[in-house]
Every structure is written in structure tokens, then in C-alpha cells.
Amino acid sequence: MKRPTSKLSHLGTEGRNLSAARLDTSSSLEIARLINTEDTKVAQAVGRALPQIARAIDLIAAALERGGRLIYVGAGTSGRIAALDAAECPPTFNTDPRMVQFVMAGGQKALGAAVEANEDSRALGRRDMAAKKPGKNDVVVGIAASGRTPYTIAAVQYARQHGAKTVAVVCNRNSALGKAAHLAIVVEVGPEVVAGSSRMKAGTAQKMVLNMLSTGAMARLGYVYGNLMVNVHLKNRKLVQRGISILETAAAVDEQSARRALGLAGNRVPVALVMLEAGVSRTQAESYLRSAKGHVRKAIASALSHRTNGRGTR
């Protein structure tokens, strides 16, 4: 068989996975087993990039603490994964939707339908990123398995030129996107079971990395307490019950006490937790949380400190 001459052929994500060479003649169990075996390699690949992921978390947490934004940008699978992570932050951490945003080649319609032609346009990448007005308080994360998507590269370059910190999430070394960003997170997952189908291992790796970036930054900002989702937005019965359970666990109180505190706190779990843990009023809890910029643990510590100092000076 003649070797392919495409410029893509040298990319690890575009290579042919020989273990899957007879995929079309395999049984369903064999296909599932093969994909599962390949998927086990993803976590290991992500593990090798942990130092760079940690640096990105630091950049993002610092930017968000200054009132900046995390802006993801990508095309195709990468853009959809970015959109998913951005969309999940408000319900998980009760963040302002403007805090974590996404820019995608083809816009909103590309979330549900392929608009692949747009990813080749550098002009569209610059235009779409310009609309976000990136600046020195923002972090822009470009995602592309190949690391060579013109749309994403141009968007990241534009953001960097306008003062934003930039991060690349790629699955191939020495990529143009990696070189365009201040920091490159390289997760080399190797050839896909279906050659070139980066929605598979590469997409899984990207999802894992973005989970780490957003969750890590929110944890650093105190939007979780321990590993409890204290900033959860209580929009339905299930989430209200989750909020009550969180208060029971975090404050070591019974359900009735948790439910009462949540009601007094205006159905806001962080406020209720500060009230329970520090023995303060709703108004005081809200004040401590504002001073701590929403960092629940710091707010509790500050409230307890003030109470102790107050008793000591009487």
C-alpha cells in the first residue's frame, strides 16, 4: 500500500492504529474491548501533562480572582467540548455565565451540526475573538487535537496580542497552536481506533483537561468546600435536596437544621454554611463572603476569627 503524502500524516493523532486494522471485521465485543483498551491510555497521557495543567490552573484562578474571564476557543469536536465545559460552570459553581465563555468556529449552530469549513479561516478566528475584547485580566485557552487549526491559532494569537494570557491544549508536540500560546498542554494520545477521528481519545483527553482547568480554578477560588459543591445553584427539587445534604455533611447538622438554615439564607448554600459554621446572621455571612470574594472557607475562617477576637476583648 502506498504511504500517504498528506502533511497530516506525520501527526500522531492522524496516524493509523495497527491494533485496529481489522476493525470492520471484528465482533461487537472485540470492538468494545479494543476501544476500551485504547481509552485506558488517555489518563496516562494526561498524567504526563500535569505540571503544565497545574500552571494553567494558576493562571486561570489568578485571572478570575481579578475579575477576568476564562475564554475557550476551538472548532469541531474541540469547540463542542469547550462549550460543554463553559456551560456546566454556572450550574456547578453558580458562577456568572460571563466568567467562563467559549468561542467556536461556526458559532452556536456548530454545536449541533458540522460547520468544518469555518475552521480554516484565520480571519473568522480573529473576528470572533475580537468580539470578546480579550485583555490583560483574561485567559484564553485554545483547543485543537492537531494543533494546526487556523481558526483557533488566529484567535489565540489575537488574544495574546491584546494582553491576555494564552494556553493551548493539543495532542501533538511542536504544534503551531502550542507555539502561539504562552503555555502548551500537550497530551499525546497517539493514533485513534478510527484513524483521524479525534472525537475519540483526543476528545476524551481534552474533556479531562478542561475538567481539570475549570474545576481546579474554582477550587482555588473557594467555590467548593472540601470537595462539596457548595456553590450549586438550587434550581430544582433534586438540587435543593443536594444543597441540604451538603449542609448536613459540611456543618455536621441534621436535615431539619440544614433545611432551616438554607431557608434563612435565601436558599444560598454558601451563606447557610457560613451561618452554621460560624454562628453568624445571614447579613454577617453575606458580608464575610463578599470580603472573601466568595471563598467559602476563608469567609468561615474570618467570621470565626472575628467572633474569637470579639470575645477576647470583652
**Residues annotated as part of the active site:** 88, 119
C-alpha span between 68 and 79 (Å, rounded):
21
Query: What DSSP line would sit under the chain, residue for residue?
Result: -PPP-SGGGGSGGGS--GGGTTGGGS-HHHHHHHHHHHHHHHHHHHHTTHHHHHHHHHHHHHHHHTT--EEEEE-HHHHHHHHHHHHHHHHHH---TTTEEEEETT-GGGGTS--GGGGG-HHHHHHHHHTT---TT-EEEEEESSS--HHHHHHHHHHHHTT-EEEEEESSTT-HHHHHSSEEEE----S-SSTT-TTTHHHHHHHHHHHHHHHHHHHHTTSSBTTB-TT----SHHHHHHHHHHHHHHHT--HHHHHHHHHHTTS-HHHHHHHHHHT--HHHHHHHHHHTTT-HHHHHHHHHHHHHHHHHT-
One-letter amino acid for residue 255 of the chain:
E
